[in-house]
Structure 1
Amino acid sequence: MDSMLKPFLPNIQKELSVSHILSIAKMQSLWSDYGGIFRLNLKGAKVPSVVVKCILLEEKDKHPQGWVSNLSHERKVKSYQVENHWYEMYAASLPTTVKVPQLLYREKQTSVQILVLEDLSHFYPNLKQSCTYKEAKTVIRWLAQFHAHFINSPTDGLWPIGSYWHLNTRPDEWKAMEDSPLKEKAQALDFVLNEAKFQTIIHGDAKVANFCFSNNEEVAAVDFQYVGKGVGVKDLAYFLGSCFSDEESQLYEGSLLEYYFETLKASAKDLNEAEKAALEKEWRELYPVAWADFNRFLLGWLPNHQKLHNHALSKNGEAFQFLERQNL
């Protein structure tokens, strides 16, 4: 058992009315060794198991890609604070069709904090690094309903700009980029995304690996460290880039965009038809901008990344054309 989790076990037992913790298994380490995620199998509780996210808030001296700075540490610590607030104040408002784990208990001791979460593996046992067209539609349905639920909602306590790659939080990666039109237009891309009329709450790290799949075409999402304000197509572009190859992206993009906007409009119950049409028009135009904005991050962070394929890079030109129409 990990030593940083041990001090929390008595309180977990007490709060969840657990007679005995049968076993503890480490599922994975957190990014840059900021802690770990554990599964606790329980006896005498209302649930057979829980997942515990155990977070070490001390500054780290290593990073998987070599990026180490005070800014990166501050961003990471803030992300865990935001995630905690998300589960406490926002997650319970979602409809049952937009599944996320329930927060069961939280605690902080000095430089370590824990989130005790519902174990989704009983109903959503399948994790993936890539997905089929059909599976992608399941995730896109989740994203569209999630975005529709929070259209123009307050985002108090969340990131003022959702996602981990937006320009203000990635100055080092921008500086590392080679001179290019994308580097030159980075601020304009960031501006039009942040100043869009229709904003929502976005997941902020909606890669396929952060979705858990059931055996009957349902899905749940995890990892809300970068949840915050944004246009929904930031999540959409990022998700599509996470699960499809160059060729698949070209093949599937059109129909999946149609499905996203159909579901988004059908789920946006508080908007009238004119507002739904305006929302679709704005976000369709911003879709290539959102993808180009993520390309900007990757080209500074890891310029040989496999996600920088031809289809992804073609979005840069589409985004520049949009900026020209806006005289930017």
Structure 2
Amino acid sequence: MRNFTIYLVVLLCFFASKMLGQETFEKRAKTIASKIETITKEEKAALKIEVEAVNNQLINGTITREEAESKKKLLAEARAINIESRVAVEQEALKNLVQEKVDGKIRTVDTLKIDRRRSLKIYLNHKKSKNDTIEKFKSERRTTSQFVFAAGLNNVVTNCSVEKSDFRYLGSHFYELGVTYNTRILEKSNLLHAKYGLSVMYNNLRTTDNRNFVVNGNQTNLEVNALQQEDSRFKNVNLVFPAHLEFDFTKTKDRDGKTYYKTHDSFRFGVGGFVGVNLKSKQYINYDSDSYKSREITKGDFNTSNFIYGLSTYIGYKETSLYLKYDLNPLFKDNTVKQNNVSLGLRFDFN
């Protein structure tokens, strides 16, 4: 509210000075001079009409030449008196204007220009000071926060490999939404940061060869569907707490004898991991038979691991990074063949 008031006062001063520019000494003097010139032109034009009327009377023989010259002289004297009396009013106004200028009651164009420049300078200096204060506050804080969004490809590692996967490579994907805190570890160094927060991860797997997951006791197997599927997708939603050691190569800035520590302004990489819980598991099966489309949604345990933990790393420039994460827990906790979720994509850390 205080900043708004300052802006308002400065802007009012600026526009008020601009409006007052219409009442400067130069403009008022010019107006008076214009009025005097108009008076002279009006009286001369009126005299010309009157003289032409006298000339017409002379041509028509209604008056003699001596009478015509006498009338013209009288008309000229009358118009001269009019000009003198009307101009005297404007001369008095000009005299008062000069006295106001001498008394300092009216400003010139130059002083108004200076006032406008001064008002604008105050506004710009205040804005610069505010921006510098914000930047200084952000740079001096040991801990900052970021909004995290990540998305990319998702699959499973079977027998230490993702080759010949039972899931589509491009159709299977992941995305992550979260908030992280970034704390500078060393007081006088910008290199090491502790990065930690809370995220929701969505891991999707799309099966191949018209298969879907079927639960058989404590085993969750892929089996061929008796009906023709248009699509089959298995989704896990996890709530996790990620933590990374981040190396940020953003250079510090020295200004006015002080050092400012900025983040996410250069190359950086992080190594760490995550722990969390599985919130829900769902399987979606889409059918398209005889021009009728339908979807089957199954929500349940599916024997998935309830406790989620894994490793993750990222490397990038500024807010954009290449992101890799690997679940150390198996996708299905009791399956004979252990499969672990793996994801590769892009990560964005927005300050």
TM-score by length of structure 2 reads 0.17
Pick the structure with greater CA Rg: 2
- Greater share of helix residues, 1 or 2? 1
TM-score by length of structure 1 reads 0.18
Structure scoring higher RCO (CA < 8 A, sep ≥ 6) equals: 1
- Greater share of strand residues, 1 or 2? 2
